[in-house]
Structure 1
Amino acid sequence: MPNSNIEAREKKAGTLPYLAYMYFLQLRPRQWTKNLLVFAALIFSIKKSNMDMLLHSVAGFFLFCFVSSSVYILNDFVDREADRQHPEKRNRPMASGAINPYAALCIGALLLLFSLVSAYTFNPLFSFLLLFYFLLNVAYSFKLKHVVILDILIIASGFVLRAIGGGLMIAVPFTPWFLICTMLLSLFLAISKRRHELYLLESNKGSHRKVLDFYSMELLNQFNSIVITMTLISYALFTFTSNHTVHLMWTLVFVFYGVFRYLYLIHIEGKGGKPEKVLLEDRHILVTVMLYAFSVVLILIYLE
């Protein structure tokens, strides 16, 4: 019986649909939820938005997805031998041998080229922003992820670049307070990611980032305390100084609950290492984000 199961899997591995599925998994589509931040500019400009702006935002979302996927492909290509020794990463398509590493690398290069050229047709600045995002992530993957504190700042900058990119795609300016709020919330997520990795390391669960040797749980908790306080104050100020209606202050309840819920997941349930996973799997966070976006749209349309 076991032999027949192995033979069935091997037979399936050679089929075209299976290969296509594995190449799709190599793009890490679960990570694409991070790129939803591209739509932030559209949401806060909802009253003057149109179908062209929506289509541009959707295009910007997918272009960010393709560029980020090209980074993941490059990372997995370089780390494929090391990943085979990891209890979880060895199941990745490239590390497991399910796909050809060089074919995947070619796909990544084509995705990057397509994204940069397509972005240039929309807005040359957006194309340069995507290129900077790609180069920054490559530098992070090969070197900067081992530099204490700088690694956290680079992770956070990726979210800020997404927000800026969304604004460039629909040609709307950002208020300084919005960018500050985005940066601080991104820092909170990045610090929480490192804290979760340190928690796994202390629990002997296979985390092996060298930079974790320079962090402590107390230090990361202190970082989060500072950043969370600044985030909530900055967003409160944003609701009153963003040139929108002051009724945006009613959305504070969702921001407070979302942050507190995330803290609960970090400190009580030992989660928070993957924001995209938390968004999809924690019902409270998902509903809070949806209610927040819905309330912002309603307030800006009917109360501004």
Structure 2
Amino acid sequence: MTEAAPLTGGARPAEAALLEQRTGGRRPTPARGGGTAGGPPRRTGTLLGGLLRTARPKQWVKNSLVVAAPAAAGRLFSWPALTELALVFALFTACAAAVYLINDARDADADRAHPTKRCRPVAAGQVPVPVAYAVGGTLAVLAPAAAAWLTTPAVAALLTAYLGMQLAYCVSLKHVLVVDLVVVTTGFLMRAMVGGLALGIPLSRWFLITTGFGALFMVSAKRYSEAVQMAGAAGATRALLTEYTTGYLRFVWQLAAGVAVLGYCLWALEEGGVPHTSVLPWRQLSMVAFILAVLRYAVFADRGTAGEPEEVVLGDRALALIGVAWVAMYGLAVANW
């Protein structure tokens, strides 16, 4: 009596022969990233490289918002201002990196079960969890201390508040409805405010309204896109999305877009009693580019493809060109040319 053929490896000879013919007798290669498909990935690389990846270099473009207030006030192009803003950019980047490191260390176990986050250096084992905590904690202490020593007390206070808010977000606030949207939006607003605080520039009401609601527009559009993409796959992404409805998130990004446009238009139409000598009314004309940019971004939000804001802006040629046109007109308006 002969033993039955094992079930693993294919019990039917025809299927086995077909598989061998397709693969040339080779075994199937493991899933990309190391390990087998569905299993924990195995990342190779240096510890320093893993720490750098965890600090999210692609996200650093968000910190360029530190130049927003100085640019709006026409105080961007001077050597002392540029030096101060470069320092503030570096300090804010260090604070954001601290938050990313601590967040990934806390979420390492959950990230290993996620289809894309499982490849993050901490989840993949390239950066040990204790190392991520240690480096993140060190940056969280040194960055505000350096700000207190090298910049103004207002900048140091804002960086400290940013760290406290973001760490609270990592621990609990990201699980609270609506509050999570407010916290992420406030992080963008703080980036836009810190440059003005560093140079002692008063922040106008229109600047704060446009920046704040513009950030809420992008944040809620991203959440809406995530909710649309995860429909029917509960638990595949952030758990809080299962408590939002797509209708509510659509309402939020539409409301925020409207208020941002209104705030910008009121700024552009307000002369403030200062006569202009420019060839064309660049301040008013910049409304056209700003509104076009919002409408173009809303196309991606409506489709449910508005992921990371920097990827949307840099990945769409039309939106990038509109952005360049807006920057040019805005700059001419500030310079009064």
TM-score, with length taken from structure 2: 0.80
Question: Matches of 1:203 and 1:242 in 2, distance apart?
Answer: 51
Q: List gaps (5 residues or longer) in structure 1.
A: none
Do residues 301 (structure 1) and 335 (structure 2) align? yes
Match in the other structure for 1:252: 287
Match in the other structure for 1:83: 111
Question: Matches of 1:282 and 1:202 in 2, distance apart?
Answer: 25
Q: Which of the two has higher C-alpha Rg? A: 2
| Structure 1 residue matching 2:183: 3-state secondary structure | helix
Q: List gaps (5 residues or longer) in structure 2.
A: 1-25, 36-42
Counterpart amino acid of residue 41 in structure 1: A
Do residues 215 (structure 1) and 250 (structure 2) align? no
Change (3 A) 1:3 1:114: farther
Structure 1 residues 25-64: Cα deviation after superposition (integer angstroms, max 9, x where no partner): 1111111111111110121122575211111112111211
Match in the other structure for 1:228: 257
Do residues 276 (structure 1) and 305 (structure 2) align? no
Matched-pair contact (CA < 8 Å) for 1:175–1:242: no
Shift of 1:293: 2.1
| Structure 1 residue matching 2:69: 3-state secondary structure | helix
Change (3 A) 1:48 1:210: closer
Matched-pair contact (CA < 8 Å) for 1:43–1:293: no
Question: Matches of 1:213 and 1:247 in 2, distance apart?
Answer: 45
Change (3 A) 1:104 1:224: closer
| Structure 1 residue matching 2:164: 3-state secondary structure | helix
Deviates more, 1:237-246 or 1:76-85: 237-246
Which of 268, 286, 290 is the aligned partner of 2:320? 286
Counterpart amino acid of residue 133 in structure 1: Y
Shift of 1:153: 1.2
Alignment of 1:69-108 (within 5 A): 69-108=97-136
Do residues 154 (structure 1) and 158 (structure 2) align? no
Do residues 46 (structure 1) and 81 (structure 2) align? no
Match in the other structure for 2:301: 266
Question: Matches of 2:93 and 2:80 in 1, distance apart?
Answer: 20
Matched-pair contact (CA < 8 Å) for 1:152–1:190: yes
Deviates more, 1:35-44 or 1:47-56: 47-56
Change (3 A) 1:279 1:62: farther
Shift of 1:229: 1.6
Matched-pair contact (CA < 8 Å) for 2:218–2:253: no
Counterpart amino acid of residue 120 in structure 2: R
Matched-pair contact (CA < 8 Å) for 1:42–1:170: yes
Please state which structure has a larger fraction of its residues in helix. Answer: 1
How many aligned positions are there? 297
Deviates more, 1:270-279 or 1:162-171: 270-279
Q: Quote the RMSD (CA, aligned, Å).
A: 2.6
Match in the other structure for 2:3: none
Match in the other structure for 1:189: 218
Matched-pair contact (CA < 8 Å) for 1:43–1:296: no
| Structure 1 residue matching 2:127: 3-state secondary structure | coil
Which one scores higher on RCO, CA 8 angstroms, separation ≥ 6? 1
Change (3 A) 1:164 1:256: same
Change (3 A) 1:4 1:297: same
- Identity across the alignment (%): 28
Matched-pair contact (CA < 8 Å) for 2:185–2:219: yes
